[in-house]
């Protein structure tokens, strides 16, 4: 499955569900309490993070997608903190505030990156279902996906009304389910239970075949568009009516904390679907995002640059020979990390010491080096019959193996001007055989958008043509 980075900026998503505030108190621990056999934590840092449905909305916004959120809170300091945090992340919120009830707060006391205890402040909300549906209907206009983020805390009491509101507008509905009655999600486009939640409904599954069989039966019974079962270290299983099961392996390099992983999955799924990705590709992206978030501490959002870099790794485009599409993705990611892009080009028919020195000098002009290589036909046009000595695939493979080179791409024209217009490097460099910047092909293009053109020193007594002539004279 080939993954690409969607246009999340064109993917508005509405989240409705149980919002909460995740509070973290951090401190040092150096002694045991004389009152009880528990550690004493000297708190020196406080941190508030949106949790539950609020974390789903925050994840959507972190990917660069327009995020909207409907939920229920109290009228208290925690609700204000939650609102301020979400608005700072550009999430548009509409909360039903209920007096005399606390906003749900989950307090975690941490020391040396370890959770020592969690304290929950919550009461089931006495939500007004009609008001929640009215708020949802008001915010559905213009969004492309509705997410029901259900933590069983009382905000969602009218699942079917919300599903029907969205379906009447042809808006897909994704639900992260809770509880032992999944019939409340009937007609949803997709539900995303974890394995324990799924087995609580259908019974224990001895193997993949039984999971698939029971999942298909559940989809038919509840008229679901699809079912995604998240399975921890065993990855994910996507089921769709009348289609083969899709099993995806876990992508986590190291599992540090699974808090909020389900939120990351459904938020990435929703944003990807809203951006026009088909379901398998959206699930693949969600699987990558889950692999990132479990390596973080606590509830955390995955940013677009983080996901983009994971996509690059999965597609083998972090370094080496790339297609234009892969290169543009790699450049976008590098720029998101504040890296300067350097570009050079040539035939590089027989790689020699002069080339290596020149490419090392070129790489020193920035953070990432692109080497564009003339294809075989253009080398013949430029150098004459009998050239190139080495095919373009072999030339690119050798260049990609150099430590100074990040990305290699071929081009078929005599000059790289069209490629320069497409990739827009920050710096264009050429060797010292040029007398002035004005002689460099593509200089006007790069300078036109504010880039730089630099001429590097010439490495003496290094020439592919001279090497070829010496070889021919010996035969």
pLDDT tens column, 240-254: 999 999 998 876 544
pLDDT digits (tens, 9 = 90+) for 334-349: 887 789 999 999 999 8
Name the percent of the chain lying above pLDDT 90. Answer: 67
Q: What is the pTM of this model?
A: 0.70
Domain contains 1: no
Residue 227 near residue 190, CB atoms below 8 Å: yes
Q: For residue 219, what is the domain's CATH number?
A: 3.40.1190.20
Query: Which whole number is the average pLDDT over 406-422?
Result: 95
* Rounded CA separation 402/451 (Å): 25
Domain match, 219 and 137 both = yes
> Following CA atoms 251, 254, 255, 259 in sequence, which dihedral angle do they give, to the nearest 10 degrees?
-80
**155, 132 in Cβ contact below 8 A?**
yes
Place of tokens 């925050």: 58
Domain boundary among 279, 313, 347: 313
pLDDT digits (tens, 9 = 90+) for 254-300: 444 445 578 889 999 999 999 999 999 999 999 888 878 765 555 56
What residues are annotated to the active site? 263
> 404 vs 37, 134, 319, 370, 416, CA distance in Å?
57, 59, 11, 10, 20
pLDDT at 176: 93
Bridge partners of 137, per DSSP, are none
* Domains contained in the chain, number: 2
Q: Which of 48, 45, 96 lies closest to 75 in space, CA to CA? A: 96
Residue 116, by phi and psi: left (phi above 0), alpha (psi -120 to 50) or beta?
Answer: alpha
In terms of C-beta density within 10 A (0-12 exposed, 13-18 middle, 19 or more buried), how is residue 436 classed?
Answer: exposed
pLDDT at residue 378 tops 70 = yes
Token duo for residue 436: 């002035």
What is the pLDDT, as a whole number, of residue 468? 57
Helix or strand holding residue 110 (H, E) = strand 105-111
Residues 264 and 171 in one domain: yes
**Any idea what the CATH number is for the domain that residue 420 is in?**
3.40.50.620
Residue 463 token pair: 């020439």
Q: Is 47 annotated as a binding residue?
A: no
**Residue 274: in which H helix or E strand, if any?**
helix 261-274
The alpha carbon dihedral of 270, 271, 276, 278 has a sign of negative
Dist CA 421 CA 413 (whole Å) = 13
The verdict on 249 and 363 lying in the same domain is no
Residue 168 belongs to some domain of the structure: yes
pLDDT score recorded for residue 406: 92
Q: What is the mean pLDDT of residues 461-465?
A: 57
Q: What is the pLDDT of the chain when averaged over all its residues?
A: 88
Residue 423 pLDDT more than 90? yes
Average pLDDT over every residue of 320-335: 85
Query: Which residues make beta-bridge pairs with 107?
Result: 23, 119
Q: Is 362 found in the same domain as 235?
A: no
Same domain, 309 and 322: no
Q: Determine the average pLDDT of the residues in 381-406.
A: 91
Cβ-proximal residues to 422 (8 Å cutoff; 6+ apart), any chain? 324, 328
Do both 393 and 448 map to the same domain? yes
Q: Is 378 annotated as a binding residue?
A: no
| 261 token code pair | 């992983």
* Mean of pLDDT values over 387-402: 92
Mean pLDDT of 186-194: 96
Backbone angles phi, psi at 116, to 5 degrees: -90, -35
* Alpha carbon of residue 232 to chain centroid: 19
Mean pLDDT of 303-328: 77
Q: Is 194 annotated as a binding residue?
A: yes
pLDDT at residue 341 in the model: 96
Last residue of a domain, one of 265, 294, 313: 313
What is the domain range of residue 367? 318-471
Distance CA 44, CA 258 (A): 25
The answer to whether 132 is annotated as binding is: no
The pLDDT assigned to 395 comes to 93
pLDDT band for 475, please (50, 70, 90 cuts): low
Asked whether residue 234 carries a pLDDT value surpassing 50, the answer given is: yes
What number of CA atoms fall less than 13 Å from residue 7's CA on the CB side? Answer: 2
339 shares its domain with 228 = no
């Amino acid at each position: 499955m080939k993954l690409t980075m969607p246009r999340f900026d064109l993917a508005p998503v509405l989240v409705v569900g149980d919002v909460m505030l995740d509070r973290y108190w951090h401190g040092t621990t150096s002694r045991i309490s004389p009152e009880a056999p528990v550690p004493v934590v000297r708190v020196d840092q406080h941190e508030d993070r949106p949790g539950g449905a609020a974390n789903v909305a925050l994840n959507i916004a972190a990917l660069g997608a327009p995020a909207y959120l409907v939920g229920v809170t109290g009228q208290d300091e925690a609700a204000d903190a939650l609102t301020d945090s979400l608005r700072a992340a550009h999430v548009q919120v509409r909360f039903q505030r209920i007096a005399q009830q606390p906003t749900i707060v989950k307090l975690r006391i941490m020391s040396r990156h370890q959770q020592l205890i969690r304290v929950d402040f919550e009461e089931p909300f006495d939500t007004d279902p009609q008001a929640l549906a009215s708020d949802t209907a008001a915010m559905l206009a213009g969004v492309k996906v509705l997410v029901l983020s259900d933590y069983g805390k009382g905000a969602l009491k009218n699942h079917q009304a919300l599903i029907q509101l969205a379906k009447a507008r042809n808006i897909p509905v994704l639900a992260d389910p809770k509880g032992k009655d999944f019939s409340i999600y009937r007609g949803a486009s997709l539900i995303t239970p974890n394995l324990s939640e799924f087995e609580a409904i259908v019974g224990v599954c001895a193997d993949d075949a039984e999971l698939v069989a029971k999942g298909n039966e559940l989809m038919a019974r509840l008229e679901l568009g699809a079912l995604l079962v998240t399975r921890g270290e065993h990855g994910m299983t996507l089921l769709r009516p009348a289609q083969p099961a899709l099993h995806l392996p876990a992508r986590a390099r190291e599992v540090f904390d699974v808090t909020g992983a389900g939120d990351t999955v459904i938020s990435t799924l929703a944003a990807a679907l809203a951006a026009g990705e088909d379901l398998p590709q959206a699930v693949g992206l969600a699987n990558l995002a889950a692999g990132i978030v479990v390596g973080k501490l606590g509830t955390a959002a995955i940013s677009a640059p983080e996901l983009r870099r994971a996509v690059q790794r999965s597609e083998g485009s972090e370094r080496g020979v790339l297609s234009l599409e892969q290169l543009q993705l790699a450049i976008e990611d590098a720029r998101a990390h504040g890296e300067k892009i350097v570009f050079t080009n040539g035939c590089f028919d027989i790689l020699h010491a002069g080339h290596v020195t020149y490419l090392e000098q070129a790489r020193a002009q920035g953070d990432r080096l692109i080497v564009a290589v003339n294809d075989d036909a253009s080398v013949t046009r430029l150098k004459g019959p009998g050239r190139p000595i080495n095919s373009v695939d072999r030339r690119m493979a050798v260049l990609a193996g150099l430590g100074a080179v990040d990305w290699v791409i071929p081009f078929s024209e005599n000059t790289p001007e069209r490629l320069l217009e497409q990739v827009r490097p920050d710096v264009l460099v050429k060797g010292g055989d040029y007398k002035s910047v004005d002689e460099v092909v593509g200089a006007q293009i790069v300078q036109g958008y504010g880039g730089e053109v630099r001429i590097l020193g010439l490495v003496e007594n290094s020439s592919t043509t001279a090497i070829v002539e010496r070889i021919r004279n010996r035969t």
